Amino acid sequence: MRKSPVCVDASLALKLVIAEEDSPLAHSLWDTWVEEGVEIVSPPLFAFEGVSVIRNKVYRGLVPPDEGELMFKAFFAQKVKLLYPEGLHERAWEIAKRFNRPQAYDSHYLALAEMLGCEFWTGDKRLYNAVKDKLPWVKWLGNYQPQEEAG
């Protein structure tokens, strides 16, 4: 039986290459998906957001240029399949209106997950809080509980 894909946003995937407080959770979750053969998908926006965040950290001097290069390469080594189904923008627009979102960027992730009928995982607590009551398939990294390994 093939597992359902999971849709992720850049905020979650960036935690794999930029050390943050919840990066260990992101690594645990990601490793579980890889071990289980789960296909990890995202809309094309994922790539643009990832590059922009890493570049901004280098520009602002928060990350040395050589480290930024490594982060850039690691971000794209994660094997996230970028999907651009017909109707993605239209669905994202409708979701942004439904949840009264000021921008429609994040709505593209929600739209893709909805179109695929899969879970959407984010590291963005504000986005999660905005939609969690109406979209139960939206998951926030902060609520992830790693499984204890059997000894």
pLDDT at 53: 98
pLDDT at 149: 52
The identity of residue 77, as a single letter, is A
Which domains are assigned to the chain?
6-46+80-142 (3.40.50.1010)
Burial (0-12, 13-18, 19+ Cβ within 10 Å), 123: buried
10-residue block means of pLDDT along the chain (151 residues)?
86 97 97 96 98 98 98 96 98 98 95 98 97 98 80 43
pLDDT at 146: 87
pLDDT at 3: 80
pLDDT at 151: 43
Structure tokens that stand for 76 in this block: 């794209």
pLDDT at 72: 98
The answer, as to whether pTM is greater than 0.85, is yes
